[in-house]
Amino acid sequence: MTTKSKVAVIGSGNIGTDLMLKVMRVSDSLSMGILVGIDPESDGLARAKRLGVEITAEGVDGLIRHPMFDEIEVVFDATSADAHRQNAEKLSPFGKTLIDLTPAAIGPYVVPAVNLHENLKADNVNMVTCGGQATIPIVHAVSTISAVLYAEIVASIASKSAGPGTRANIDEFTETTAAAIEQVGGAARGKAIIVLNPAEPPLIMRDSVQMLTEPLDAPTKAAVVAAVEGMVAEVAQYVPGYRLKQAVQFTEETTDAGHLVPKGRTSPRGYTKVSVFLEVEGAGMYLPAYAGNLDIMTSAALRTAERLIAESRGAQA
């Protein structure tokens, strides 16, 4: 029987606590080592203690001093962009693999269904954002059929599912997601918008992806639909609540839409707008099902850690 690799999670808030529970309940290759926080009264640390997980309320410094630290192979950081930059600097001498769930983006952007295989040697990988994890696979899928000249995503999440860390990172969310839409998704230009929906009862995460391509004929449109549906099925393997909300839509646009396209990439024949609407329902391990934004981040991070560990063990064999 293969020994599981011990991990630490920095951040005892919503994302960190949900990730801790996923490691404990879902993973076949990871075991929960230490939950790290800065508030000794936080619910996450209290829950970890009840579950028999080692804890520290002294932040990353407490993690480094912990007797179990040498056994930790992977460190997940579920704090904030600013905090991750400091945490990464403190952890850099110790050779740990870091998985960054903040928008800090020190390491390469990773979306498991798209480019995880390209980054299996990286020692610090960035999970982009919840909106990025939900939408970049779709942009990439369309780009395998036809060049995506512009991609705009809107992530609508329940306000109740956005904790202090998420709210503190709103600006970084849009910047990081837009950059990853281009760098990972393959769009010539990307734009990202986040909506914190205060509706009661809270609504499940919804994401829209609107893309401009050159005009598409019927066979190419059919190929786009197949690529999108295939990608949705692939993401759903590690995020079971990820699904298409309705059929892929196509709208013919005039050359007026060219103001959204980078110079040199405009089409004199007009454009086809490809619209994809998604829904992400959470697994409900720590928070209610409406918190799909947390679920897709922690699920993607878990899949990434498992693959990185498998790659590391394969290299050592």
- Residue of 23, 63, 114, 130 with catalytic role: 130
Give the Cα separation of 180 and 193 in Å (integer): 13
Give the Cα separation of 145 and 225 in Å (integer): 10
3-state SS string for 271-291 = EEEEEEEEEECCCCCCCCCCC
Q: Annotated catalytic, 130? A: yes
Give Dmax over CA atoms of the chain in angstroms: 65
Give the Cα separation of 239 and 253 in Å (integer): 33
3-state SS string for 195-264 = EEECCCCCCCEEEEEEEEECCCCHHHHHHHHHHHHHHHHHHCCCCCCEEECCCCEEEEECHHHHHHCCCC
| Beta strands, E only, the chain | 5-10, 30-36, 54-56, 72-77, 97-100, 124-126, 150-158, 190-197, 205-213, 242-244, 249-253, 271-280
Residue 180 DSSP class: H
Residue 31 DSSP class: E
Give the Cα separation of 103 and 125 in Å (integer): 11
CA distances from 42 to 11, 38, 47, 260 (A): 10, 8, 9, 45
Tell me the three state secondary structure of residue 38: coil
Give the Cα separation of 282 and 161 in Å (integer): 11
Place of tokens 């640390």: 45
Which residue numbers are catalytic?
130
